[in-house]
Amino acid sequence: MADQYLLSIDNGTQSVRTLLFDLNGNLAAKAQIHLQAYFSDHPGWAEHDADGYWDAVAAACQQLWRSTDIPRSAIKGVAVTTQRGTVVNLDRDGKVLRPAITWLDQRRVGKQKPLSLWWRTAFKLARVDSTIEYFRREAEINWIAEHQPEIWAKTHKYVLLSGFLNYRLCGRHVDSIGSQVAYLPFDYKRHKWAGAHDWKWEALRVRKDMLSELVAPGTVIGAITASAAAATGIPEGTPLVAAAADKACEVIGAGSLEPHIACLSYGTTATINTTSRKYVEVTPFIPPYPAAVPGAYSTEVQIFRGYWMVNWFKEQFGHLEQIAGAEQGLAPEAMFDLLVNEVPPGSMGLMLQPYWSPGIRIPGPEAKGAMIGFGDVHTRAHMYRAILEGLAYALREGKERIEKRSGVAVTELRIAGGGSQSDAAMQLTADIFGLPAARAHVYETSGLGAAIAIAAGLGLHKDFDTATRAMTRPGRIFHPIAANQQIYDQLYRRVYLRMYKQLQPMYQQIADITGYPEQL
């Protein structure tokens, strides 16, 4: 096992990372190329040069070889994990037709041609007609078809970023079932493209032949081509294995393989996930995403702006910490931990509702963020702690919704993502949830999840269960402090759970008066 390594390519929003793991889940080498998250030619647009993603992958691979003595011959397989929902248009020769539209994009298409009477009636009776129209207006497919018909006419394949990178690596239009999180005609219950009579084909202007072939995580989808080998330095013929989207890989990379173990991801989008073999809609009519394990589901609840709010705070209020950190050779986030520790649990009554971006159903499209309870005692430190507490409250509420719908109690927490590096965030998470919170043993959990898919797919470990147990383990564990837990539990039950219901009508009034956020 000592001379067998697994190469994960993790194309996130902020960077591309190439990671070598051994079969015990140890990170042996790493390289990183930073990305501009997106460019915007119009307000609300978020696009990225698709070929630029590939160039960054190639550069990260070449940087990796320069940084390690591990021979490339020791690499047994490769897998790709990427940001979700970023789409690429390719012509018949596999050339990019327009910039990739990233998951951060906020454009919407105009009013669409009505669905057939049967579907309109069914959705109206189910009270999800507004959700379906939201889906149609958010779909990048429909925007391109309407606003750039010449591009759509030339589009031979419409793929996710994961499918695009797989194509560049092995020359085949194949993608993992575990990566299908986007406005696409995907059947989330059966894990395949929707059936011929599914409403999604009517709602989206795409044909099945324009989409990638789908395979289960762990499937060998091809081998590294000569041209890909020349660009990346990965040996030609190395097996390319299907993994899953970054959040799905993060879940198994943190060791959350059973429904009683929840994975909290403190990333740009904060999430709570459990892995389930049952199809469970945590929010009615909003399907669970495919997991990184074949045949399983991720019962995910998202807070869209999540730990983006930490960066928001840094840019708007954290100049002193940025200066002090630079003087001491520390990241601003490390200085923010000092801010958190200046403030008692509960932030002296300052409470945050972290809906800095609206949702679809919970919260609804009218939702806005809120901070209540200000007094003359409050400082930037209280505000920062309230942000972390508000995110943890929102994820706890997600946990309780998952438990109610699944019938399985969550008894363990695994924490991943950038926020997991903060001891203060870890402790208040344990306190708010009233559960031990374990930091994943490596920071690069999404890359580790992709490596698990390689190990299971190539038979280097017996199966996904064996690979996950062999390659993951808890890092430092933070236990709830009883006095803190009691304060948080009262604030959560008596205040936080009531905030959205009380404020929702006013959010609607704000939207009606100002036109923001735009309503359906």
**What is the rounded CA–CA span in Å between residue 421 and residue 127?**
42
Beta bridge partners of 301: 272
Mean pLDDT within 24-30: 97
Q: Which helix (H) or strand (E) holds 502?
A: helix 497-514
Mean pLDDT within 225-229: 98
How much is the pLDDT for 242?
98
251-305: per-residue pLDDT in tens? 999 999 999 999 999 988 899 999 999 999 998 878 999 999 999 999 999 998 8
Cβ pair 333, 422 in contact under 8 A: yes
Mean pLDDT within 350-354: 96
415-434: per-residue pLDDT in tens? 998 889 899 999 999 999 99
Given a cut of 80, whether residue 162 has pLDDT beyond it is yes
**What is the rounded CA–CA span in Å between residue 203 and residue 184?**
10
More confident position, 285 or 369:
369
Mean pLDDT within 344-354: 96
How much is the pLDDT for 379?
94
Flag whether the pTM goes above 0.85: yes
What are 260-263's contacts with CB under 8 Å, separation 24+? Answer: 260/408, 260/409, 260/410, 260/411, 260/412, 261/410, 261/411, 261/412, 261/413, 261/414, 262/399, 262/402, 262/410, 262/412, 262/413, 262/414, 263/413, 263/414, 263/415, 263/416
Largest CA distance in the chain: 66
**What is the rounded CA–CA span in Å between residue 14 and residue 269?**
13
For tokens 């019962």, the residue is 299
Mean pLDDT within 222-234: 98
How much is the pLDDT for 289?
96
Given a cut of 90, whether residue 515 has pLDDT beyond it is no
How much is the pLDDT for 357?
81
- Ramachandran sector of residue 179 (left: φ over 0; alpha: ψ -120 to 50; beta: rest): alpha
Question: pLDDT-derived band of residue 2, with 50, 70 and 90 as boundaries?
Answer: low
Q: Mean pLDDT, the chain, as a whole number?
A: 94
Given a cut of 90, whether residue 330 has pLDDT beyond it is no
Given a cut of 60, whether residue 519 has pLDDT beyond it is no
Cβ pair 361, 131 in contact under 8 A: yes
> With pLDDT > 70 as the criterion, what percentage of the chain qualifies?
99
Mean pLDDT within 119-134: 87
Given a cut of 90, whether residue 167 has pLDDT beyond it is yes
187-to-86, 112, 472 alpha-carbon distances in Å: 19, 22, 30
To the nearest 10°, the Cα dihedral for 513, 514, 518, 520? Answer: 10
